[in-house]
Structure 1
Amino acid sequence: MASHNELGFWGEQTAADYLTTKGYRILQRNWRCGRRDIDIVATDYTTLVIVEVKTRRDNSFTEPETAVDRQKIRSLAIAANAFVKQMQTDMPLRFDIITISGTPDTSCRINHIKDAFIPY
């Protein structure tokens, strides 16, 4: 596995562990709908939370959350709609971003942005 894939896998695991410690229940990881995917689908027992995870070794060039652009938001909205229909849930929906800055060999910084965007 390429090092950037390993970093991404580690970041998603770190985000899932973080959510679990905060009381969330992880429902799905890497849920796919065609070529679209949702990194983490979780619930805080009142809301269905769609989580996009962005992992970077450091923030030298840009903050990781800036990678969630218009196209990514649209893709997440389509995937979330498919997930809701497939699972036949009527829970309120929220879109979060979790950024992980660091590596498995160093300390990391986690930033959880709740209600990061409203899809258009």
Structure 2
Amino acid sequence: MAQHNELGKKGEQLAVDFLLKENYKIVERNYRFDKAEVDIIAKKDNILAIIEVKTRSTKDFGNPQDFVKPKQIKNLVKAVNEYVIENDLESEVRFDIIAVVKENNGFSIEHLPNAFYHF
């Protein structure tokens, strides 16, 4: 597997571990619909958190969250609308980003709730 794919998988697992420690329940991982893949769908209280994980080996080219583009957001919103309808959910939906950056002795993790879209 390519090194960037391994880093991405590691970042997603670190994000899941982080969310579990924060008392989120992981509902789904890697949900796919049409052209979108939702990295993590988690629930806390009555909030369905849709989480895009961005992992980078360095911040030299910018923060990981800066790499979520408008077209990706549009596709994620479409996928989540389908997920909510298909599962007949009555929750508040929130879109978050978890930014993971490899550092000398581990990883830094930053959780950005309500990162780009809210309905």
When the two structures are superposed, what TM-score results if normalisation uses the length of structure 1? 0.94
Partner of 2:110: 111
In structure 1, the residue matched to 2:85 is 85
Structure 1, unmatched stretches of 5+, are none
1:69 and 2:69 correspond = yes
Kept in 2, the 8 Å contact 1:54–1:65? The answer is yes
Question: Which residue of structure 2 lines up, in the alignment, with residue 5 of structure 1?
Answer: 5
Q: Is the 2:47–2:93 Cα contact (8 Å) retained in structure 1?
A: yes
RMSD over aligned CA atoms reads 1.6
The Cα shift of 1:69 comes to: 1.4
Distance 2:117 2:61 in 1: 26
Q: Distance in 2 between matches of 1:107 and 1:72?
A: 28
Q: How far apart in 2 are the matches of 1:50 and 1:119?
A: 10
In the alignment, the residues of structure 2 paired with residue 89 and residue 31 of structure 1 have an alpha-carbon distance, to the nearest angstrom, of 15
Cα offset, 1:98, TM superposition: 0.2
Could you list the runs of 4 or more consecutive aligned residues of structure 1 that deviate by over 3 angstroms after TM superposition? Answer: none
- Give the alignment of 1:37-56 within 5 angstroms: 37-56=37-56
1:119 offset after TM fit, Å? 6.0
How many residue pairs align between the two structures? 119
Scaled by the length of structure 2, the TM-score of the pair is 0.94
What's the offset of the Cα at 1:83? 0.7
Per-residue deviation at 1:106? 3.4
More strand by proportion, 1 or 2? 2
Letter in 2 for 1:31: Y
SS of 1:102's equivalent?
A: strand
Q: Identity percentage over the alignment?
A: 38
Q: Give me the whole-angstrom Cα distance separating, in 2, the residues matched to 1:87 and 1:106.
A: 41
Kindly state the Cα deviation for residue 46 of structure 1 after the two structures are TM-superposed: 1.1
In structure 1, the partner of 2:20 is: 20
